[in-house]
Amino acid sequence: MANDENSVDLSNAVTRLNERCGNLFVPEVEAFLKRVRNGRLLVACSGGADSVFLLLMLYARRNVLRSELVVAHYNHRWRGEASDVDAQFVESLARALDLPFVVESRPEKEAAFTETTARALRLDFLRRTALQHGCACVAFGHQMDDILETQLQRISRGSGSDGLAAPRPIARFSDLPTHVRPLLNIRSVDIRMALNLAGVPWHEDDSNGDLSIARNALRSKVIPDLHEVLDRDPAIGAARCRRLLEEDAQALNQLAEAQLPDAFNGKRPLSRQALRAAPRALTRRALMSWLNRHGLLASVGAPAIDLLLNEISGSKKRHQVSAGASYIVIEGDKVEVRLALEPSLELSIESQAIELGTSMLLLTGAVLELAKVELDAHLRELIVTGKVDPSVEAYILATQEGVLAVRGWLPGDRFAPIGAPGRKKLQDWFIDRHIPQKERKRLPVVINNSGEIIWVPGFPPADRLKIRRNTKQALRLTYRTRISPSLA
């Protein structure tokens, strides 16, 4: 925290900030907010410097923007008492500004959670709160430095122009509040300097110093080295790159919609010939829009999209790709979605990739998630002492593999879970555990790039990859069973 928050004259501080920084908002965001019919705006505030600066600047410019503000804070509860103090601090800011304040805490059931889970929970809270309070937009405190950090992470995952154009100043969604980021023109150091000069406090998250977290390491080690090696500020170049990529992405999406309108309208089936005839960049966008229209995009990872594109342009007359409780079937000149109607709800034997930070909807209606987590002493003790329920989750050593694969059980599979004297047939493990034949065909088998079995729900993970008392990072696999509405 900077300064003494109890001694701040917030009214004068807001005035000083506005005088110094009042014209620094992204112009298109400012123009957009002035046009919004419903001027209610939800401000996401963590208590950190960026979001505190955002809140005070929006408050200072609320009459110019014709905005009525609601302050929202999500308490992740991952720093114990410090997280509660952050929530109290944001509430005190809202109260001092006489603004409505909404807070929600992470539920107890999410005892073992990841950065991916945390972001999803926070975003769900913000969107629900915006809708409940009649807010047309949610404002986030992302600033210029966030652009480069996001790009570096997404480059490592192989993102295209749409992914590298994030975070966008304005992001629109159907049936959800618009996301706005007014601060993408401003550097983090300038925000902190302005707050200090105005005498405004903020709360610094201690976990920002943990270099085992990728974004923190990029910020503290990699990006400064880039600056020195290139002898120029990479954040400024990344901001321009983001703008250009967004322009390109918008143009390509318009071209794709003009050339392949059936895909964007969700028509089924699609013409394989039409998809083949278009440039691959347009076909990719059309296909992703089509899958999204049918609620399947979250079930089809990037490798599956690449495979689907290859098969559409290939010579095989028939091919199918698993997509949750459905199949995407290529047959002759048609590409369509078909419901998987196997009476036994068996998993496909064909392996399907699951990437880090994503979830997969299985044919049975169950959901499998893969994420990287930081292990604190408490969670590590639970894992090492076998107090994690193996039927719903498993922790393994974090390897260099960013992608695992999932398939159904094969009779010849062999597995060596933690504590086993050696590898033996998975079928024998099923018999030892009295797992019925029908259930065996429903359980996902998680494998690595070498085909080695990593985990089967109900069993501990592979002994070779077990967590030890000095392990700091792990891959977390989560398995949740549910009945798919389309199969109920």
Closest CA to 270 of 253, 288, 252: 288
Average pLDDT over residues 267-286: 95
* Res 175 pLDDT > 90: no
How many Å apart are CA 262 and CA 100, to the nearest integer?
45
Instruction: Give the per-residue pLDDT at 1.
Output: 43
Q: How confident is the model at residue 9, as a pLDDT?
A: 78
Can you give the CATH number for the domain in which 76 is found? 3.40.50.620
Selection from 34, 53, 54, 28 nearest residue 43 by Cα: 54
Domain boundary pick from 311, 339, 367: 339
111 pLDDT exceeds 70?
no
Which of 339, 371, 389 corresponds to the end of one domain?
A: 339
Contact 161, 248 (CB under 8 A): yes
HSE at residue 379, side-chain half, CA atoms within 13 A, is: 21
Q: Give the residue from 239, 272, 304 where a domain finishes.
A: 239
pLDDT above 90 for 247? yes
| Segment of 273-287, 397-411, 459-473 carrying the highest mean pLDDT | 273-287
Whether pLDDT at 348 is above 80? no
Q: Same domain for 139 and 265?
A: no
Mean pLDDT value of segment 28-50: 91
Q: Note the pTM of the prediction, 2 decimals.
A: 0.70
Per-residue pLDDT tens over the stretch 298-311: 777 777 788 889 98
Domain that holds residue 433: 352-480
Instruction: Report which of 155, 173, 78, 92 is spatially closest to residue 122, judged by C-alpha positions.
Output: 78
| Number of domains composing the chain | 3
Q: What is the pLDDT of residue 398?
A: 85
Question: Is 349's pLDDT higher than 60?
Answer: yes
CATH number of the domain within which 267 lies: 3.30.465.60
Q: What pLDDT sits at residue 132? A: 94
Give how far the C-alpha of residue 98 lies from the chain's centroid of Cα atoms, to the nearest Å. Answer: 33
Q: Would residue 218 count as lying in a domain?
A: yes
> What's the pLDDT at 37?
72
Confidence bin at 71 (pLDDT 50/70/90): very high
The average pLDDT across 466-475 equals: 91
Mean pLDDT (the chain, rounded):
86
The answer on 132 and 24 residing in a single domain is yes
Are 260 and 286 contacting, i.e. CB atoms less than 8 angstroms apart? yes
Contact 60, 22 (CB under 8 A): yes
Examine the domain organization and report whether 57 and 150 are in the same domain. Answer: yes
**For residue 431, what pLDDT is reported?**
87
Least confident of 34-38, 133-137, 277-281, 422-426: 34-38
One domain, residues 308 and 373? no
Same domain, 62 and 126: yes
Q: Which residues contact 185 (CB under 8 A, 6 or more apart)?
A: 24, 25, 26, 144, 239
